[in-house]
Amino acid sequence: MRTFARRFGWIVHPVTVFVFAQICWALLVFTWIWWYFDREKTISSILAKVPAPPELQAGQWIILLQGGILLALILLGLLLTFISQRRQVRLNRLHESFLSNITHELKTPIASIRLATETLLLRNLADSDRKKFLERTLSESFRLQNLVDSILVAARLESKSYNQQKELIDLPSVVEKSVDSFRERAGNERRIDFETKYAGARSEFLIEGDPIQIQMLFDNLLSNAQKYTNSGGRIVITSTLSAKGFSVSIADDGVGIEKESLSKIFDKFYRAEGTARIRVQGSGLGLFIARSVAVAHGGTLTASSDGPEKGAQFNVSFEGKSAARRG
């Protein structure tokens, strides 16, 4: 039975059903029109012999037009139903993928924290070993906290009732702090080049916004570059401040992005299929949060890539002069 279902399951696939329905409707329309023109001469000859008002003779075409409009509306409804169904299927798949990823991401730090705690309780360790286990526990707790924060921020960004915390934020300073922290986490596994370009004497660009979200924006982009860049790879970060505004470019020489995935990578829960061979940690929310935060603060976030194994580049930009100044 399962072999039969696998072999002939395409018959009940939504695409097959939709195509079959369209063929049926097309045959119905063709048969209808063919029958009408085949009988039109006979009907016209009868009307010519029997006295009839002109509006009755013209009513034939009106009936055909009404039927055509009704059929077009039915076809449109069927098409919209099909599009809605396919979208729902895609959302369900993304949701299932998210649950699978998030379950794994939650289990890993919890198991690590539990193992380290049990070891500390059951064994009499030397001070150096005890410190290592405590540092591992602290690191895993930070990882767990970041994961929970990502889920909460994603939910808040979609909530229309969310009141964003607003403070004056110096974007160049935030980027420098993010890069310094990123360098410490990456160690010597990757070459990280950071360049700042300031036009004129001004070296700050102030906006009003949520400092936690802005920090998460750049942390997510840097973390994404690290995940998809092999050990020994290169990540180039360029921060530019000019009269036109402030922008940050993060380019890597990693696995790259397929062209058909460029328009989807900022969708919630989406993970490019072309990177499935690389096992990375993540919930599928990082780039969604990054773009949502950029847009919420009046900026833009775009991605570009020449294809698989050719690296990727993400550009964040805030146009215009600084939104506010200190003092």
| Nearest alpha-carbon partner for 196 in 234, 238, 156 | 238
Separation of alpha carbons 282 and 268, rounded Å: 12
Q: Mind listing the pLDDT tens digit for each residue in 242-258?
A: 888 899 999 988 888 88
- Which one-letter DSSP state was computed for residue 277? T
Take residue 68 and report the two structure tokens written for it: 């055509």
Look at 96 and 266; give whichever has higher pLDDT.
266
- Long-range CB pairs of 150-153 (<8 Å, 24+ gap) are 150/216, 150/283, 150/285, 150/286, 150/289, 151/102, 151/283, 151/285, 153/212, 153/213, 153/216, 153/289, 153/293
For residue 61, the model assigns a pLDDT of 64
Section 267-293 average pLDDT: 70
Q: Mind listing the pLDDT tens digit for each residue in 83-109?
A: 877 788 777 777 776 677 677 677 878
Q: Mind listing the pLDDT tens digit for each residue in 47-89?
A: 566 665 555 555 556 666 766 777 777 778 777 877 877 788 7
**Domain boundaries in the chain?**
2-91, 167-319
Separation of alpha carbons 239 and 250, rounded Å: 9
Of 47-51, 179-183, 274-278, 301-305, the poorest mean pLDDT is in 274-278
Tokens 């695409």 belong to residue: 15
Q: Give the architecture-level CATH label for domain 167-319.
A: 2-Layer Sandwich (3.30)
- Long-range CB pairs of 278-285 (<8 Å, 24+ gap) are 278/227, 278/228, 280/227, 280/228, 281/105, 281/108, 281/227, 282/101, 282/105, 282/227, 283/98, 283/101, 283/102, 283/105, 283/147, 283/150, 283/151, 284/94, 284/97, 284/98, 284/101, 285/150, 285/151, 285/154
Phi, psi for 14 (deg, rounded to 5)? -55, -35
Q: Does residue 225 come out as left (phi exceeding 0), alpha (psi in the -120 to 50 range) or beta?
A: alpha
Indicate the pTM of the whole model: 0.62
Of 209-213, 217-221, 280-284, 302-306, the poorest mean pLDDT is in 280-284
Residue type, 239: S
| Nearest alpha-carbon partner for 72 in 19, 26, 36 | 26
